[in-house]
Amino acid sequence: MLTAEDNAQLTRVGPGTLIGDLMRQYWIPVVLSSELAPGGRVKRVRILGEDLVAFRGPSGRVGLLGEFCSHRRASLYFGRNEEPGLRCVYHGWQYEPSGRCIDMPNERPESSFQDKIVHPAYPCAERGGVVWTYMGPASVPPGLPELEWTLVPQAQRFVSKFWQDCNYLQALEGGVDPAHISFLHGILDAADDGLRRALDRAAAGFGFASQLERTPHIEVAETETGLLIGARREAPAGQYYWRITRYLLPFHTMPPPEVGSDPVLHSHVWIPIDDDHLVNWCISWHPTRALTEDEQAEFRAGSSIHAMEYAPATSEAYGDIRPIASRSNDYLADWEAQRTRKFFGVPGVGVQDKAITESQGRYDRSLEHLGRADVGIIRVRKCLLDAAIALRTRRVPPPGLDPASYRVRPASVLLPKEAPWV
């Protein structure tokens, strides 16, 4: 377990907090590029406790500004999207994407007041169909992370996201927990075709029983960018079956793919909205071929890690990606299925993860009791704290600022028992 102090340090993300300052060293996904039309509507976003608005100017340049005008704090969500910047409708102050105030039509022409105003703003860049921002102090930001899914052609990736009603860390911890899949996502009856199909493919590919061993042996290894978390299970012919999860500082995880000859890969990016909510970015991609129509249709329907059945959209931050399945309706749980067929009756892997992490409420880690199966979670927490403390106390740049260090994949593999898995 953690102390209450460590728990607070790991979960608070606002300006000036230990983890908040660490996360501001990295590029952060904001919205899909397709969400911002040139000269179109402004979108509210909230990242690391800061209220912001994202927009694309008529010329195509993307901006990310503090939501509330520096004049009298009116919301720039209602701003006029003009060239060369966003204009507040209250008194007409206009801001470039850099935050420089370029027009104050309510001030007399001889006034130089606008030269003294620098509005909160963050640089943006686009890669992989996503708008990214850098919220850190470096005058020259590091290069964008060279994650494989951002570099493949658009036809080879599928990106979705959804809002979660919990702290980023408890969702991320679920993403690096190899032991929970046999329980939370497990089945009681072969008639349940979701996980069974995946496990049957595993059996066909590797020739062993399709029900995964429930108590894997967990090992963890450090990497240049974070951690490898290896879950080892027994397999025939003197072999081990290794499922290897990647954790990349500070908020990327890659679960092991389905086994077989042509697996689709998956990743999450767990972006804190504030101390109590997050955006769960869900990415599926294939390194060498386009995703099939059937694969994309399954993702849109909520298979695998995706959850795309949203409640009616609102204009609040992430009001368009709030899943219908929520605490108020028991996440659409099928209680009869839980009694007879499924270990957990909520439909869909992504929604199951959402439901169980939200059920933890404000998670006080000083009250938990961790065992050997939780070593991956323990090491992820230590990895985050070590990097954040080194940055704050010794000004040590955190791992993973080299863009090429993100050129990695997760893995599922059979190995001889004597073979080193790392």
pLDDT at 391 over 70: yes
pLDDT at 371 over 80: yes
Q: What's the pLDDT score for residue 303? A: 82
3-class SS string, the chain: CCCHHHHHHHHCCCCCCHHHHHHCCCEEEEEEHHHCCCCCCCEEEEECCEEEEEEECCCCCEEEEECECCCCCCEHHHCEECCCCEECCCCCCEECCCCEEEECCCCCCCCCHHHHCECCECCEEEECCEEEEECCCCCCCCCCCCCHHHHCCHHHEEEEEEEECCCHHHHHHHHCCHHHHHCCCCECCCCCHHHHHHHHHHHHHHCCCCCCCCCCEEEEEECCCEEEEEEEEEECCCEEEEEEEEEECCCEEECCCCCCCCCCEEEEEEEECCCCCEEEEEEEECCCCCCCHHHHHHHHCCCCCCCCCECCCCCCCCCCCCECCCHHHHHHCCHHHHHHCECCCCCCHHHHHHHHHHCCCCCCHHHCCCCHHHHHHHHHHHHHHHHHHHHHHHCCCCCCCCHHHHCCCCEEEEEECCCCCC
Of 109, 133, 24, 113, the residue nearest 70 (C-alpha): 113
pLDDT at 192 over 60: no
Structure confidence at residue 185 as a pLDDT band (50, 70, 90): confident
> What is the percent of the chain where pLDDT is above 90?
84
216 torsion bin: left (phi>0), alpha (psi -120 to 50), beta (else): beta
132-136, 194-198, 223-227, 239-243: range with lowest mean pLDDT: 194-198
pLDDT (mean) for 204-225:
72
Structure confidence at residue 261 as a pLDDT band (50, 70, 90): confident
Q: What's the pLDDT score for residue 208? A: 41
pLDDT at 211 over 80: no
The domains found in the chain, sorted by start residue, are 27-134 (2.102.10.10), 148-416 (3.90.380.10)
Of 189, 158, 210, 212, the residue nearest 350 (C-alpha): 158
pLDDT at 82 over 70: yes
10-14, 181-185, 232-236, 412-416: range with lowest mean pLDDT: 181-185
Contact between residue 197 and residue 213 where contact means Cβ atoms under 8 Å apart: no
CA distance 73 to 92: 13
CA distance 235 to 135: 46
pLDDT at 403 over 90: yes
pLDDT at 253 over 80: yes
Q: What's the pLDDT score for residue 79? A: 98
Structure confidence at residue 1 as a pLDDT band (50, 70, 90): confident
Q: What's the pLDDT score for residue 203? A: 40
CA distance 347 to 325: 9
Number of other residues whose CB lies within 10 A of the CB of residue 30: 25
> What is the percent of the chain where pLDDT is above 70?
94
pLDDT (mean) for 120-148:
97
Q: Which residue has the tokens 């309706």?
A: 329
pLDDT at 407 over 50: yes
CA distance 176 to 164: 17
pLDDT at 399 over 90: yes
Q: What's the pLDDT score for residue 181? A: 82
pLDDT in tens, 281-338: 999 999 999 999 999 999 999 888 999 999 999 999 999 999 999 999 999 999 999 9
| pLDDT, the chain, mean | 92
Structure confidence at residue 189 as a pLDDT band (50, 70, 90): low
Strands 278-285 and 157-164: antiparallel
Q: What's the pLDDT score for residue 191? A: 47
pLDDT (mean) for 386-408:
97
pLDDT at 193 over 60: no
